[in-house]
């Protein structure tokens, strides 16, 4: 999933140099620092072939049933050997980060091993998005040192959260306390008419527990749901413009709308910025797209080139 920052708001190879249409991008996956030298425009022949960031749905399996979830409900789990080959390709072609998702990525059988492989064998940052309820001592220990950022989903507080996710909010908070031992983390927050009233309190909680970022995800129309309604959209836009909290806000690309966003990579859009691999091995422009290109024996970059040639319009 692509997102934009809202305005106003010793592990292997830690530093990464990427050349692209936006300029020279220097990224440190340990500190999370980014330097963009946009005064220099490298020749197009030197631009990275891979997107800046790629998200990979490791599995469609999830033990929750959130009504607004966009993940396919069909069976699908990626082969470990194929994954490592794709990760090597992305690394060799200039990607700076890979984000593991699903479904629920912590249910992938070799999840910790995959994160370790990526950190030790590539220069890419490793992130993953999770509901958080499997973040126990054993998993935290297995992942330690091999994850650079975690996104944890929190849609509403208290009874709102429990009615949507069917899990204890108190247990969820304890899981976040465990997460602090692993890596910097951000909150993912689906915004709709039911969760919007909790939004101010949610950002205050995020500040208290040490979240580095609060990602707003206006609900998208999936599974016969209409997505965020117009009144809530306007209320969210007003809320963002008046936000004075201490946690950095970001918003999904598809949900940015008329919000006051800041994107230093405006010259690097589409498949140069982002791509998604679903749990059946299909490469797509975004996680919301229905169509894409199957990654065959020729590899991920070859699939990316074919996808670019087809010019499938992004819906995000």
What is the separation of C-alpha 188 from the centre of its chain, rounded to a whole number of angstroms? 9
Orientation angle between helical segments 169-179 and 158-165, nearest 10 degrees: 90
Tens digits of residue pLDDT in 243-290:
999 999 999 887 777 788 788 888 888 999 999 999 999 999 998 888
Q: Is residue 191 part of a domain?
A: yes
Give every residue of the chain whose pLDDT is below 50, as ranges. 1-11, 314-316
Q: Which two tokens stand for residue 242?
A: 């008046």
Q: Is residue 315 part of a domain?
A: no
Residue 313: predicted pLDDT: 52
Residue 10: predicted pLDDT: 34
- State how many domains the chain has: 1
Q: Is residue 175 part of a domain?
A: yes
DSSP letters along 86-152, please?
Answer: HHHHHHHTT--EEEEESS-GGGSTTHHHHHHHHHHH-S-EEEEEE-STT--HHHHHHHTTS-SEEEE
Residue 7: predicted pLDDT: 37
| 0.85 surpassed by pTM | yes
Q: How far apart are CA 293 and CA 68, in angstroms?
A: 25
Q: Is residue 208 part of a domain?
A: yes
Q: Is residue 218 part of a domain?
A: yes
Residue 226: predicted pLDDT: 77
Q: Which domain holds residue 26?
A: 3-310
Report which DSSP code applies to 77: B
Helices (H), 144-229: 158-165, 169-179, 199-209
Q: Is residue 42 part of a domain?
A: yes
Q: Which helix (H) or strand (E) holds 249?
A: strand 248-252
Tens digits of residue pLDDT in 169-205:
999 999 999 898 899 999 999 999 999 999 999 999 9
The mean of the pLDDT values for the chain is 90
Please report, for the domain that includes residue 263, its CATH number.
3.20.20.70
Q: Is residue 316 part of a domain?
A: no
Q: Which helix (H) or strand (E) holds 37?
A: strand 34-37
């Amino acid at each position: 999933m692509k997102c934009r920052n809202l305005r106003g708001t010793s592990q292997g190879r830690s530093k990464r140099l990427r050349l692209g249409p936006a300029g020279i991008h220097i990224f440190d996956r340990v500190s999370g620092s980014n330097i963009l030298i946009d005064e220099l425009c490298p020749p197009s022949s030197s631009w990275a072939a891979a997107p800046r960031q790629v998200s990979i749905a490791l599995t469609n399996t999830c033990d929750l049933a959130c009504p607004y979830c966009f993940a396919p409900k069909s069976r699908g789990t990626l082969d470990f050997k194929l994954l490592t080959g794709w990760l090597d390709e992305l690394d060799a072609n200039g990607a700076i980060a890979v984000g593991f998702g699903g479904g629920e990525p912590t249910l992938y059988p070799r999840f910790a091993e995959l994160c370790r492989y990526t950190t030790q064998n590539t220069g890419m940052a490793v992130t993953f998005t999770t509901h958080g309820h499997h973040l126990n001592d054993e998993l935290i220990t297995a992942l330690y040192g091999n994850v650079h950022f975690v996104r944890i989903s929190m849609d509403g507080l208290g009874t709102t959260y429990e009615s949507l996710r069917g899990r204890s909010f108190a247990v969820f908070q304890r899981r976040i306390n465990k997460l602090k031992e692993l890596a910097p983390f951000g909150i993912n927050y689906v915004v709709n008419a039911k969760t919007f009233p909790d939004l101010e309190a949610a950002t205050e909680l995020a500040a208290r527990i040490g979240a580095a970022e609060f990602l707003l995800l206006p609900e998208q129309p999936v599974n016969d749901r209409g997505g965020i309604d117009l009144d809530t959209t306007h209320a969210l836009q007003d809320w963002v413009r008046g936000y004075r909290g201490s946690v950095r806000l970001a918003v999904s690309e598809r949900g940015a709308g008329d919000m006051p966003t800041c994107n230093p990579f405006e010259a690097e859009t589409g498949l140069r910025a982002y791509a998604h691999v679903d749990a059946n091995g299909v490469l797509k422009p975004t996680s919301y797209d229905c169509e894409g290109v199957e990654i065959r024996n020729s590899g991920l970059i070859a699939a990316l080139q074919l996808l670019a040639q087809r010019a499938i319009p992004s819906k995000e």
